[in-house]
């Protein structure tokens, strides 16, 4: 595109054709902004390029406000809802020259308690990950070149792991969440994150959306570094922590464990040193995380739960009703457990002189859709990093004999996204997994 061998209009037209090919099967989008995207591409072709995202089609999770498309958060309660503004991250993408290609499927209010219409392109009978279901699927298939999602317990990294894409959850406060539908957010846990096909693309997207936002008091007023500067430095000499006391055991499926162990060995071969650490307080992850998540998400729903209960999906309504009944003492205990977890992982980084930690992204592969009642099985390895606010990156690390993807998770120090991107990029360049694409014809399409 820089050399004018490909125009933004041609790229957007090709992406729209890919959407037409795949949407009848996978349903990653709730709204395709074809006319607006083509108009934005025409403007991009008429301008001097603003940077590496100029003219690139990006999908947006349907909980992030867009001034030119409805934002319904996957719920009948917000049917037809529009805003006059963009979420900060959407505005920053437009300012970088990106083209918004459409709004993408989310679980109702990002709660993960309903079966989304979206299907996993690696096996259409399996869960596509959630709650940012459409983002991972669209990037895996090329019906977007990147996507924005939100992640309060793993909702970017889960879809990334089960679709063999790259999912990045930055440090809490590194990226503005202003413009996220409040009824679909747990503010102290929520992060806006990215889906891409490569770690380099994740760095490019983060570069565009990161930074202080006076409209969001959660954001951190610190300079944004050049995330590409050290991307090719490799992992030689880095110390990477393992915590097998938590990120292993009976919850970890043997096929996933074998793939992740292979990834650990590859990092060692590339020159990293693996250092075992203990994180006993992480046993509080699920009880503390669910209490905080349920209470924070439920708060803005109190009136709707009384006045419009039948407009919710039943599973979502039950979760929100439970969240509205969480006793204050339980919430206080959950926050105390969270503080202990934060202190413990900070001490582990300091005492073991860690540059990052590496874990499985998920303990299992994508579950069959008829097994979705057991969603807590998916989040014990992602939720700790929402509670602690640390940056976490999921990269593909192989496929099971059944052809289902698994993910390697790289976790860094606060605001040190550059290091986890560097580690993920080094692993990615040494392995073939990120280059593999799903073949829908072989996945039971009908």
- Mind telling me the catalytic residues? 61, 131, 155
By DSSP bridging, strand 392-399 and strand 356-360 are unpaired
Burial readout 197-206 (b: 16 or more C-beta within 10 A, e: otherwise): bbbbbbbbbb
Torsion of CA 200, 29, 367, 286, to 10 degrees: 70
d(CA 441, CA 122): 10
Q: Counting Cβ atoms within 10 Å, is residue 140 exposed (0-12), middle (13-18) or buried (19+)? A: buried
Of 46, 50, 293, nearest in space to 151 by CA: 293
Tokens of 420: 């986890």
The set of residues, in sequence order, having a beta carbon less than 8 Å from that of 105 and lying 6+ positions away, is 27, 28, 29, 30, 62, 74, 116, 117, 118, 133, 134
Q: Rounded to an integer, what distance in angstroms lies between the CA atom of residue 385 and that of residue 260?
A: 18
Spatial CA neighbour of 443 closest among 165, 143, 122 = 122
CB-based burial label for 265 (10 Å; 0-12, 13-18, 19+):
exposed
What does the CA dihedral 20, 369, 63, 312 come to, rounded to 10 degrees?
120
What gap in Å lies between CA 141 and CA 189, rounded to an integer?
Answer: 29
Alpha carbon of 358 to those of 129, 263, 271, 374: distances in Å?
21, 9, 15, 25
């Amino acid at each position: 595109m820089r050399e004018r061998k490909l125009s933004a209009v041609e790229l957007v037209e090709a992406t729209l054709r890919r959407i037409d090919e795949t949407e009848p099967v996978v349903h990653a989008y709730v709204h395709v902004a074809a006319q607006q995207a083509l108009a934005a591409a025409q403007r991009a072709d008429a301008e001097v390029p603003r940077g590496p995202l100029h003219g690139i089609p990006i999908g947006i999770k349907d909980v992030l406000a867009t001034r030119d498309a409805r934002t319904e958060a996957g719920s009948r309660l917000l049917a037809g809802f529009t805003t006059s503004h963009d979420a900060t991250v959407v505005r920053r993408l437009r300012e970088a020259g990106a083209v918004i290609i459409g709004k993408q499927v989310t679980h109702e209010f990002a709660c993960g308690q309903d079966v989304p219409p979206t299907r996993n392109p690696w096996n259409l009978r399996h869960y596509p990950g959630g709650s940012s279901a459409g983002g991972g699927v669209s990037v895996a298939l090329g019906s977007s070149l990147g996507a924005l999602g939100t992640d309060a317990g793993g909702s970017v990294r889960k879809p990334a792991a089960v679709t063999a894409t790259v999912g990045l959850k930055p440090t809490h406060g590194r990226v503005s969440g202003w413009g996220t539908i409040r009824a679909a957010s747990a503010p102290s846990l929520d992060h806006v994150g990215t889906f891409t096909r490569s770690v380099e693309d994740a760095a490019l997207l983060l570069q565009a959306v990161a930074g202080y936002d006076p409209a969001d008091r959660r954001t951190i007023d610190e300079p944004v570094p050049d995330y590409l500067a050290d991307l090719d430095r490799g992992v030689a000499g880095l110390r990477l922590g393992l915590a097998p006391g938590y990120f292993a055991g009976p919850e970890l499926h043997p096929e996933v464990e074998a793939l992740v162990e292979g990834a650990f060995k590859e990092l060692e071969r590339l020159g990293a040193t693996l250092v075992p650490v203990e994180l006993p307080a992480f046993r509080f992850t699920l009880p503390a995380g669910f209490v905080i998540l349920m209470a924070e998400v439920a708060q803005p729903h109190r009136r709707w739960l009384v006045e419009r209960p039948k407009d919710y999906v039943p599973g979502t309504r039950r979760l929100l009703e439970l969240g509205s009944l969480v006793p204050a003492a339980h919430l206080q205990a959950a926050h105390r457990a969270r503080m202990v977890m934060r202190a413990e992982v900070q001490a582990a980084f300091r005492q073991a002189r860690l540059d990052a930690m590496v874990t499985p992204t998920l303990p299992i592969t994508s579950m069959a859709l008829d097994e979705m009642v057991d969603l807590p099985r998916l989040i014990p390895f992602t939720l700790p990093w929402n509670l602690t606010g640390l940056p976490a990156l999921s990269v593909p690390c192989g496929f099971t004999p059944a052809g289902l993807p698994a993910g390697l998770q790289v976790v860094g120090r606060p605001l040190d996204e550059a290091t986890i991107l560097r580690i993920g990029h080094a692993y990615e360049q040494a392995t073939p997994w990120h280059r593999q694409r799903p073949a829908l014809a072989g996945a039971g399409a009908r």
